[in-house]
């Protein structure tokens, strides 16, 4: 399933094995119904007993699929349909796993577990869901070693990388947020994995008129294509007391915050300071 998703990532002009998160972000701008049946019928073999069998080997990609679809809206519609088909397959797999087991606990691993738009589906079938912060090859390698050695390893936090020493710049970051609406913060140990949990972050005030434009400008070296700039997803920060406010994937956000906040006793202070910055900027404490 990951190879198929990567192949469609390449088909829309992104880098496979790297830009899948941008394809996920592009899906929000497209019409998921327009090409849904085309993608499903061309790539997925649907039967009574399986929904996760693909019709072709996609190790070399699928750049020749529907070459006439090349406008920006076409590409976003491909992304939307791809995400929709992925979520259908993901739901089928998770539902099958739930039927085969009595446990209410689920661990998601592998690169597909980084698809946070789809991950909330798992809570429809399992009470407790844990997704390793780095579920791709690096995290899977850790699990493989532990499985081989038949050992259990505590993972109190994900801050295991290079350490930028010094106090977290709460006041400076807060002032910059209030003045310009956007600020970059690098402090403490880097996170293990592709997710930023407060120590390496580009923070922006969504209500500031210029923050989105400036964040695109700051990323221009990495996102030279305007479509990539527009589609790169952002992660909202939610104060825990406001989790009742309607949001997309509120449950998934709650799980992220619960996980992080439950480990603040042993984790570096960076994420707690990060939450303080956002809380004060929103004038809630």
- Indicate the average pLDDT of the chain: 78
177 — pLDDT class (breaks 50, 70, 90): confident
Average pLDDT over residues 21-41: 92
Tell me: the pLDDT tens digits for 96-147? 999 999 999 999 999 999 998 899 899 999 999 988 888 988 999 999 999 9
- What pTM was computed for the model? 0.75
242 — pLDDT class (breaks 50, 70, 90): low
Portion of the chain with pLDDT greater than 90, in percent: 43
pLDDT at 34 over 50: yes
More confident: 48 or 73: 73
Indicate the range of 33-42, 170-179, 228-237, 269-278 predicted with least confidence. Answer: 269-278
* Cβ contact 148:130 at 8 Å: no
Phi, psi at 213, each rounded to 5°: -60, -45
What residue has token string 């406008």? 71
pLDDT at 40 over 70: yes
165 — pLDDT class (breaks 50, 70, 90): very high
pLDDT at 236 over 80: no
* Cβ contact 124:188 at 8 Å: no
Indicate the range of 18-22, 86-90, 99-103, 213-217 predicted with least confidence. Answer: 213-217
User: Two tokens at 172?
Assistant: 């400076």
Q: 251 CB contacts (<8 Å, ≥6 apart)?
A: 120, 123
The SS3 assignment for 263 reads coil
Q: How far apart are CA 165 and CA 265, in angstroms?
A: 19
What is the reported pLDDT for 216? 41
- For 54, how many CA atoms within 13 A lie in the half-sphere containing its CB? 17
Q: How far apart are CA 225 and CA 217, in angstroms?
A: 12
């Amino acid at each position: 399933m990951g190879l198929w998703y990567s192949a469609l990532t390449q088909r829309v002009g992104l880098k496979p094995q790297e830009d899948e998160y941008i394809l996920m972000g592009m899906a929000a701008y497209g019409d998921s119904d327009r090409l849904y049946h085309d993608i499903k019928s061309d790539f997925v073999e649907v039967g009574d007993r399986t929904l996760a069998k693909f019709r072709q080997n996609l190790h070399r990609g699928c750049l020749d699929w529907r070459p006439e679809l090349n406008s920006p809206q076409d590409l976003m519609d491909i992304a939307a349909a791809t995400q929709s088909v992925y979520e259908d397959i993901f739901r089928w797999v998770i539902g099958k796993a739930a039927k085969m087991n009595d446990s209410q606990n689920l661990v998601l691993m592998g690169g597909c577990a980084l698809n946070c738009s789809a991950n909330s589906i798992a809570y429809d079938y399992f009470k407790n869901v844990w997704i390793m912060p780095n579920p791709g090859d690096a995290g899977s390698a850790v699990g493989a070693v532990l499985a081989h050695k038949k050992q259990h390893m505590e993972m109190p936090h994900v801050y295991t990388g290079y350490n930028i020493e010094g106090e977290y710049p709460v006041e400076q970051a807060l002032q910059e947020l209030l003045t310009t609406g956007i600020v970059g913060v690098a402090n403490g140990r880097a996170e293990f994995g592709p997710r930023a949990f407060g120590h390496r972050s580009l923070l922006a005030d969504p209500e500031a008129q210029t923050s989105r434009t400036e964040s695109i400008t700051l990323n221009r070296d990495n996102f030279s294509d305007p479509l990539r700039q527009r589609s790169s997803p952002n992660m909202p920060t939610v104060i825990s007391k406001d989790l009742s406010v309607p949001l997309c994937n509120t449950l998934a956000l709650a799980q992220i915050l619960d996980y992080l906040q439950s480990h603040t006793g042993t984790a570096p202070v960076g994420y707690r300071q990060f939450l303080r910055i956002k809380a004060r900027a929103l004038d809630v404490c």
